[in-house]
Chains A and B, each alone.
Chain A
Amino acid sequence: MNTRFSLAGVVFGLAVLCSRGAVAAESPSALFPEKNRALLKEHCFSCHDAEKQKGKFRMDDLSFSIGDNRTAELWQKVLNALNSGEMPPEDEKQPAAEAKADFLDDLAKVMVVARRNLADTKGEIAMRRLNQREYGNTLRELLGVRVAVNELPADSNASGFDTAGTNLFMSGDQFEQYLELGRVAMTEAFERHDNAATAKKQRFEAEEGLLARVNKTQKKRIEYRIAFNKWKRAVDAAAKQPENHAVAAEIRKTVRGDFPFHYSWAKIKGAPSPVDFGFTDAVHAEHEGGNGAWTRYVPYTSWFVSQPENLTGGWLTAGDNSVNTYFSFSVHGWPAGDYVVRLRVAASDKVSPQRKFIEFGKGGGNPFKHDSAHMVTGTLAEPQVIEIPLTLTVGGLRTFFVRERGTHDDDHQPNLKQNVGIAENEIGPDFALWVDWAEVERLPAAHPAPGMKAIAAVVGDAKSNIPPAELGAALERFCVEAFRGQQPSAEFLKRLLAVYQDRRTHGENHRKALTETLALVLSSPRFLYLSEPSAGKTAVAGNLTAHELATRLSYFLSSAPPDETLRNLAASGELLKPDVLAAQTNRLLDDSRSADFLHPFLHQWLHMERLDFFRFNNERYPGFDVSTKEASRMEVYESFAHLLRHNHGLRHLLKSDYVMVNGLLANYYGLPDVKGDAFRPVKLPAGSPRGGLLGMAAIHGMGSNGEHSSPIERGAWVLRRLLNDPPPPAPANVPMLNRLEEKLLTTRERLAMHQEEPQCASCHRKIDPIGFGLENFDAVGQWRTEDSYERRGLGRKTWPVEPAGAFHKGPAFANYDELRDIIHSRGDDFARGFSSALVEYALGRSIGFRDVTLIDKMIADAKPEDLAMRTFIHTLVASEAFRSK
């Protein structure tokens, strides 16, 4: 086996080299601008020349053209030594700050180019494994199942997209996981199959048992209160006895808010035990009957019980009052499949619009993670019915809940909400949302998925006995579907059948043996790898066949296998015609599944995982709860989707007179009259800072740490994602500047030291001014004109935001609007960054100098159409790079 591998390797390796050698240019060298020689001459060569070679390091012969690994490594040393301040030595003359910063800027940049050139794959696209999400989507398309795939190792990596084949590893552990997930997928597919005709529907009335339950709690609380007061008075009376005077005085010294006097009852002679009053101990007594419980809960509960609407439905409460903070319902034992949840709900007209949103989620746990948020427009007079699609999976949760939005993102939030209500009316939060009932109904089964169609004849049941010939034919059909149209080998089929038969002989039933056999197909390389073999032909790089093109196109634009239409067009060869390919590209982009391309692409390209790097401080930013954060994430996706749908220009993302929002986000942005959960374009009032990525809450949230805005993150993000001028990676080993300790400073003052050291200034002189220009947005993307900082022991400092600044060696801006206009005028730069990312994502490899022509063409083609979104994709799909391997 091994021998064959290596033999084949040599032969094919040569073939690849030959065919490439004729057409492909050699890697070009990265050129370090000659102007930098002056600084080296003045500060380095005197020690590091041919003669001295101090530290065994010679620089005078170091080539400014970086075209091989050795030269790159030597320059990396130079860069490291300068960044760490190691060189020039302290006692030698130092370069002028500005000159050193310029030098470092050039060198760091040229190293990025050199590394990229050296890592160039010569345009070759390696076969790759399906990444985590493609694997999940592929099972969905093949079998109609929704398998949780997040147990697989994440495929994300620091530098590239999750489509980059070289980063998609495989291991024995992972094979076992695929095998197990394959079993789960088949089990679910069979469960769906068996229940194709099953009907299920159940309604859950919110009032059922509600008042009885609350009344019982209330009665208990009142009884506890009475018992508590009796006990406390008895303790106080005992403490007043002369014999206890001294000890009582001692105890009083220990009393704190969370440690009341009567906790120390045992030290007081004659004081009764709380156990005699029905409590387990003093803490229990305080908790159930003390002032906290009484003042917090009992009046609130009484108020709740008095609401007539609780006779026909139930008010949801907000806070830690444990009255009815969520409404929960279960459908235990219901089979996997597609369902709909209906909620009949209303919002009170007494509460602010922010509170008219309801969250829906599965399961329990603390805190519960919800799946969606919905605007409630119904009133008590006219409640509305909200429909929420739901999928039940094998082993998935069968219990659901609804609750008011932003009331239970973490353990801390209920308390905050309760306090807000108490501050308003001394009792607790007003009731905002009322639920009449919830209903779960099974939807009729969709058409069987292709994989299930392939085995329809042999699915049978546990007791079935299927003739081997019939089974073999079904296995073959299944393999063809699973392998995206490729034929399995006869030997593989034979062995599959043997696996099945062997299990049957050993007493396994038909279903179990079939599950194992098919799980094996779902773990085999032709399913897991996007292989593009040239069966029977010489394995050289070349044009993709129609089938391979169908696969690449489909995984590019929907992260899923080619559907029947694409496969048919591939079979007839039609797909190779440019107009057919373009039409199919449009069809895939029009399909809702293009979200499976757009979302992960944007998430990775725009580095949106930063939105999940930290919890936003919900005490400081109560409006930016998890539901709002999710809506803000969707705004980014939907803004791109809108352009893609209508083939509008990319520049709208830099500035536009509309925003893509739903009711929740419109409420957050203060835009009136947007109802419902669907995102749609909404015209902005004049002078609004919104419109375009720079006006989006998600982008500013990413440019923060959940607490404060981070001008550095934002400035670097703008350079990287909008202006295609990425600063080099932050260097290691730069000396720290620590002298600004223990002082309250404005953000600008704090970051001013970046400008002092050339190692920092070389990048920060470009980054920081842009970040400062965005300081009118706080950590959660709300507009502000003042910023402040508070430090324990030092107090608080407040200052007006001063956005004015200038691009490094570039235009000045007086405020955010002018900054945005400058960025908007650089649409071509944005288009270049977008195109590069798109090529990298689509081809699954890092881009190299060979791709410049393609990227140029993408921009040139789109330019006459105002940088229309689809044109980029059409040019890419039609390119030789996309159509070859």
Chain B
Amino acid sequence: MGYGVTQETWFPDRKQSGAGYALPQGLAPLARHKEDITIVQGLTNRYSEDAHAGSTFWLTGANPHENGAAFRNSISADQVAAAAFGKDTRFTSLQLNGSDKDLAGPGHGQGLSLAWDKSGKPIGGQNSPLAAFHRLFSAENISKEQLQRRLAEKRSMLDTVMEEVRDLQRGLGQTDIEKLDEYFQGIREIEVRLAKDEQWQSVPKPKAPLPQPARDRSGVEEIKLMFDLMVAALQTDSTRVLTYRLPIANLLTSLGVKVAAHDMSHYSPGERMEASQKRDVAHSDLLAGLLDKLKSVKEANGTRLFDHSTVAFGSNLSHVHNLTNCPTLITGGGSGIKLGHHIVAPKDTPLCNAWLTLLQGSGIKAERHGDSSGVLKELMA
């Protein structure tokens, strides 16, 4: 989510850390999952200075000004996970976005999704549930030969433009070569993808565990649909890493809220705060639905999908214009973290410590992530 939460009614009482805390109003719809979620307070991306940066650094913890840069970013935690878990699935990772398009946008700041690649470039996302459905489950009606032929055609096209890259680069200075390298890397991405397509061509796409949506939705229904698709993608092992950048303008409209999203984020008691709280409850309600699904889906060995997943829900912005105490909700049994707790981390603990804990807990040998200073011991079971 791009605009944070309502501080007064989303965070549990700081004095009640541990298991015996009371769920505040903003999290109330999650009551049935209380034993299975953990709320962490005190986490911050310490380099985040601009409240308008939205979700740009949420999963990366980058210092945007490192080495004097006007702007830079680094790899996001999901892509670290994708590098480890993406090898064996059809899709290395999936990036989903809310469909907010016009007006003030979703408040997520720069970027094309929540994901940033290893060179700190934005990774594109899909903002239509319908398109995501087709990508995951719609079979292409072509023969093996046709597919082979198509891959060959594609490769010869890529080779042709690469020839252009080689030729062009001869006359360029260093900075320009670096810029052109982005193009080169882009072509490389496609080549890698083609190799994967080839590897997966004989494997038919899985049968969709949910009906094809008749059309794209907006707001609450859109989020529900995306959540269902996320579960379906995991359930069919189409991918093991997903991010979803939530919509906000659409959500508010569907909740009948008339306040504009950015205005709402600058809430003070009254209409705007009520809108902000309504948004929190809607988020929690939707999240509770997602957890229901994750718990109801059974793996082959009879365990729940939930037990093998890690879900992080949160925002780089805490509330209004505040960047300290990033709202963080972690759930799922996949990374062996302590569930059912309210953790109050020491003030200004790097948010990346939480990401590092989740990465390590999932079996990834990462030593650090972003500006992490270590793992979050309180989070470990």
Q: Quick check: is B320 within 8 A (CB to CB) of the other chain?
A: yes
- Which residues of the other chain, B, contact A792 by a CB distance below 8 angstroms? 271
Scan B49-91; emit 1 where CB is below 8 A from any A CB, else 0.
1111100000000000111111100000000000000000000
Question: Cβ of A22 < 8 Å from any Cβ of B?
Answer: no
B124 contacts A525, CB within 8 Å?
A: no
B161 in contact with A127 (CB, 8 Å): no
Give Cα distance in the complex from A171 to B185, angstroms.
7
Which residues on the A side are within 8 Å of B51 (C-beta)? 730, 732
Q: Are A535 and B171 in contact (CB under 8 A)?
A: yes
B50 in complex: contacting residue of A72, A499, A729, CB < 8 Å: A729
Binds B, one of A161-169, A240-248, A338-346, A798-806: A161-169
B167 in the interface, Cβ–Cβ < 8 Å?
yes
Provided the pairs A502-B156, A535-B170, A733-B324 are in contact, do residues A126 and B179 lie with their beta carbons within 8 angstroms?
A: yes
Min Cβ gap B79→A in Å is 13
- At the interface, yes or no: A41 with Cβ under 8 Å from chain B? no
Question: Are B186 and A5 in contact, CB atoms less than 8 angstroms apart?
Answer: no
Residues of A within 8 A of B178 (CB): 9
Contacts of A119 in B (CB 8 A): 65, 68-70
If A612-B103, A732-B49 touch, whether A170 touches B183 (CB-CB below 8 Å) is yes
Q: Counting CB contacts under 8 A, is B330 at the interface?
A: no
Q: Given A127-B176, A171-B186, A732–B50 Cβ distance below 8 Å? A: yes
Chain B nearest CB: distance from A175 CB in Å?
5
- State which residues 622-655 of A face B: CB under 8 Å: none
The answer on a CB contact under 8 Å between A171 and B189 is yes
In the bound complex, what is the Cα–Cα distance between A738 and B167 (angstroms)? 62
B262 CB-CB contact with A under 8 Å = yes
Contact indicator A5/B270 (Cβ below 8 Å): no
Binding-face segment, A205-213, A354-362, A490-498, A766-774: A490-498
Whether A732 contacts B173 by the Cβ 8 Å rule is no
Binds B, one of A536-544, A552-560, A670-678: A536-544
Flag whether B268 is at the interface (Cβ < 8 A).
yes
A491 to B170, CA, bound (A): 14
Q: From residue A246, how far is it (CB to closest CB) to chain B in Å?
A: 37
Complex: A614 Cα to B103 Cα, angstroms: 5
Query: Which residue of chain B has its CB nearest to the CB of A506?
Result: B149
A175 touches B153 (CB 8 A): no
Is there an interface contact between B112 and A16, defined as CB atoms closer than 8 Å? no
Q: Nearest CB to that of B324 among chain A residues?
A: A733
With both beta carbons as reference points, the residue of chain A lying nearest to B49 in the complex is identified as A732
Question: B321 an interface residue at 8 Å Cβ cutoff?
Answer: yes
Query: With A166-B70, A524-B161 as given contacts, are A12 and B171 in contact (CB-CB < 8 Å)?
Result: no
- Complex-state Cα separation, A169 to B102, whole angstroms: 22
State the Cβ distance, A874 to closest chain B Cβ, in Å: 28
Residue A615, interface by CB 8 Å: yes
Question: A572 an interface residue at 8 Å Cβ cutoff?
Answer: no
B277 in the interface (beta carbon within 8 A): no
CB of B181 within 8 A of CB of A5, answer: yes
- Within the complex, the shortest CB–CB distance from B215 to chain A, in Å, comes to 13
Shortest distance between the CB of B120 and any CB in chain A (Å): 10
Residues A169 and B121 in contact, CB atoms below 8 Å apart = yes
Q: How far is the CB of B294 from chain A (nearest CB, A)?
A: 28
For residue A126, which residues in chain B have a CB less than 8 angstroms away from its CB? Answer: 175-176, 179
Given that A614-B103, A741-B268 are known contacts, is A159 also in contact with B71, CB under 8 Å in the complex?
Answer: yes
Binds B, one of A439-447, A526-534, A690-698: A526-534
Query: Which A residues are CB-close (under 8 A) to B112?
Result: 153
Tell me which residues from 492 to 512 in chain A have a Cβ below 8 Å from any Cβ of chain B.
492, 495-496, 498-499, 502-503, 506
Assess the A489–B167 pair: CB atoms within 8 A.
yes
Cα–Cα, bound, A193→B38 (Å): 64
Mark each residue of chain B from 132 to 171: 1 if its CB lies under 8 Å from any CB of chain A, else 0. 0000000000000000010001001101110111111111
Task: Verify if B109 is at the interface (C-beta below 8 Å from A).
Answer: yes
B269 A742 Cβ-Cβ under 8 A: yes
B210 on the A face (CB < 8 A): no
Chain B min CB distance to A162 (Å)? 13
Rounded to whole Å, the gap between the CB of A646 and the closest CB of chain B is 35
Q: Is the CB of A705 within 8 A of B175?
A: no
Q: Is the CB of A175 within 8 A of B173?
A: no
Kindly state whether residue B193 has any CB partner on chain A within 8 Å: yes
A43 CB to closest chain B CB, in angstroms? 21
Contact status A730-B68, CB under 8 Å = no
Q: Is the CB of A529 within 8 A of B180?
A: yes
A128-B179, A729-B52 as given contacts; A705 in contact with B260, CB under 8 Å: yes
Taking CB atoms, residues of chain A closer than 8 Å to B182 are 169-171
Chain A positions 169 through 198: 1 when the CB is less than 8 Å from some CB of chain B, otherwise 0: 111111110010000000000000000000
Asked if B27 is at the interface of the complex by the 8 Å CB criterion, the answer is no
- Could you tell me the distance between the alpha carbons of A170 and B123 in the complex, rounded to whole angstroms? 10
List B contacts of A421 (CB < 8 A).
Answer: none
Q: Is the CB of B263 within 8 A of A157?
A: no
| Neighbouring A residues of B109 by C-beta, 8 Å | 158
Q: How far is the CB of B251 from chain A (nearest CB, A)?
A: 16
In the complex, chain A residues whose CB is within 8 Å of the CB of B160? 492, 495-496, 498-499, 520, 524
| A496 CA to B184 CA, complexed, in Å | 18
Find out whether the CB atom of B67 lies under 8 angstroms from the CB atom of A525.
Answer: no
A736 at the interface (CB under 8 A from B): yes
Q: What is the CA–CA distance of A169 and B121 in the complex, to the nearest angstrom?
A: 7
- CA gap between A615 and B104 in the complex, in Å: 10
Residues of B close to A15: CB separation below 8 A? 173
Q: Is B19 part of the contact surface with A, judged by Cβ < 8 Å?
A: no
Asked if B322 lies at the interface with its beta carbon under 8 angstroms from chain A, I say: yes
Determine whether the beta carbon of B172 is less than 8 Å from that of A732: no
Query: Counting CB contacts under 8 A, is B303 at the interface?
Result: no
Which residues of the other chain, B, contact A682 by a CB distance below 8 angstroms? none
Given A16-B173, A520-B160, A614 and B110 touching (CB < 8 A)?
Answer: no
The docked-state distance in angstroms from the alpha carbon of A523 to that of B179 is 16
Complex Cα distance, B271 from A741, in Å, reads 11
- A734 — which chain B residues lie within 8 A by C-beta? 321
Contact of B172 among A1, A167, A531 (CB under 8 A): A531
Select B187's contact among A175, A499, A541, A741, beta carbons within 8 Å: A175
Given contacts A171-B123, A524-B164, contact A541 B173 (CB under 8 A): yes
Taken residue by residue from 309 to 353, chain B's Cβ proximity to chain A (1 for < 8 Å, 0 otherwise) reads as: 000000000001111100000000000000000000000000000
Measured between beta carbons, the chain A residues less than 8 angstroms from B53 are: 158
Asked if A368 is at the interface (CB within 8 A of a chain B CB), the reply is no
- In the complex, whether A109 has a CB less than 8 A from a CB of chain B is no
Chain A CB within 8 A of B26 CB: no
B28 interface residue per 8 A CB criterion: no
Within 8 Å of chain A (Cβ to Cβ): is B106? Answer: no
A469 located at the interface, meaning its Cβ lies under 8 Å from any Cβ of chain B in the complex? no
Identify which of A532, A535, A846 contacts B70 (C-beta below 8 A). Answer: A846
Q: Which residue of A lies closest to B189 (CB)?
A: A172
The answer to whether A80 has its CB under 8 Å from any CB of chain B is yes
CA distance A732 to B157 in the complex (A): 48
Please provide the 5 A-B residue pairs with the shortest distance between their CB atoms, ordered closest to farther: A533-B171, A172-B189, A118-B68, A119-B70, A741-B269
Seed contacts A526-B164, A732-B322; 12 additional CB < 8 Å A-B pairs:
A1-B166, A116-B70, A127-B179, A157-B71, A158-B52, A165-B179, A492-B163, A499-B157, A529-B168, A533-B170, A705-B263, A706-B260
Could you show 24 A-B contacts with beta carbons less than 8 Å apart?
A9-B174, A12-B172, A16-B174, A69-B68, A127-B175, A128-B179, A153-B112, A158-B110, A170-B183, A171-B124, A179-B157, A489-B164, A502-B153, A523-B161, A524-B161, A526-B168, A531-B172, A531-B180, A536-B171, A541-B173, A613-B262, A729-B49, A732-B321, A736-B322
**Contact surface of A with B, Cβ cutoff 8 Å:** 1, 5, 8-9, 12-13, 15-16, 69, 72-73, 76, 80, 84, 115-116, 118-119, 124, 126-129, 153, 157-160, 165-167, 169-176, 179, 488-489, 491-492, 495-496, 498-499, 502-503, 506, 516, 520, 523-526, 528-529, 531-537, 539-541, 612-615, 705-706, 729-734, 736, 738, 740-742, 791-792, 846, 885
